């Protein structure tokens, strides 16, 4: 019985750590977004027609990575790391 209880406690802890690190990703992603994307895509990522930039709410890391490596509009973003892109996607997922 003791084993079962400590097993449950372990699982609960792993889940808690997992959700804490996700919250951290989202917070870091928000910072990167405000610093590097908001000027063109708007403070809420809804896009700015005047700049011909679309809404990027809910974009995945793959979509962001593709745009960064292929679109001339995003040439200045090539220095973003894979982790930063992942964090950006975590933040954009909260805006849907
Ligand atoms: C200089 C202005 C500018 C900045 C800064 C910028 N974008 Fe964009 N973005 C655009 C424009 C314009 C488009 C549409 C044309 C294109 O893809 O080049 C676009 C398209 C996109 C798309 C594709 C959307 C779709 O539906 O196809 C994604 C994803 C994206 N941007 C993500 C980002 C992220 C993430 C950042 C910040 C790290 C960022 N952009 C910074 C101007 C910008």
Six token digits for residue 72:
């001339």
The residue nearest atom 34 of ligand 1, judged by CA position, is: 37
Distance from Cα 51 to the centre of ligand 1, integer Å = 10
> Which domains can be identified in the chain, with CATH numbers?
25-93 (1.10.760.10)
Strand (E) or helix (H) holding 75:
none
Please tell me if the CB atom of residue 37 comes closer than 6 angstroms to any atom of ligand 1: yes
Q: What pLDDT is attached to residue 10?
A: 82
Residue 94 has a pLDDT of 96
Distance CA 67, CA 45 (A): 15
More confident residue, 57 or 12: 57
CB of 92 closer than 8 Å to CB of 44 = no
| Cα Rg, the chain, nearest whole Å | 17
- The pLDDT tens digits of the residues spanning 2-47 come to 888 888 888 887 778 878 888 899 999 999 999 999 999 999 999 9
Whether residue 55 contacts residue 45, with contact meaning beta carbons closer than 8 Å, is answered with yes
Q: Is the CB of 61 under 6 A from ligand 1?
A: no
Residue from 29, 40, 68 whose mutation best tests the ligand 1 pocket (most atoms within 8 A of CB): 40
pTM score of the predicted model: 0.87
């Amino acid at each position: 019985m003791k084993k079962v209880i400590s097993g449950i406690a372990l699982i609960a802890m792993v889940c808690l750590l997992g959700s804490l690190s996700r919250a951290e990703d989202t917070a870091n992603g928000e910072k990167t977004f405000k610093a590097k994307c908001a000027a063109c895509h708007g403070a809420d990522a809804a896009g700015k027609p005047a700049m011909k930039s679309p809404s990027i709410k809910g974009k995945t890391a793959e979509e962001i990575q593709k745009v960064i490596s292929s679109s001339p509009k995003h040439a200045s973003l090539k220095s973003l790391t894979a982790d930063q892109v992942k964090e950006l996607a975590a933040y954009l997922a909260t805006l849907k």
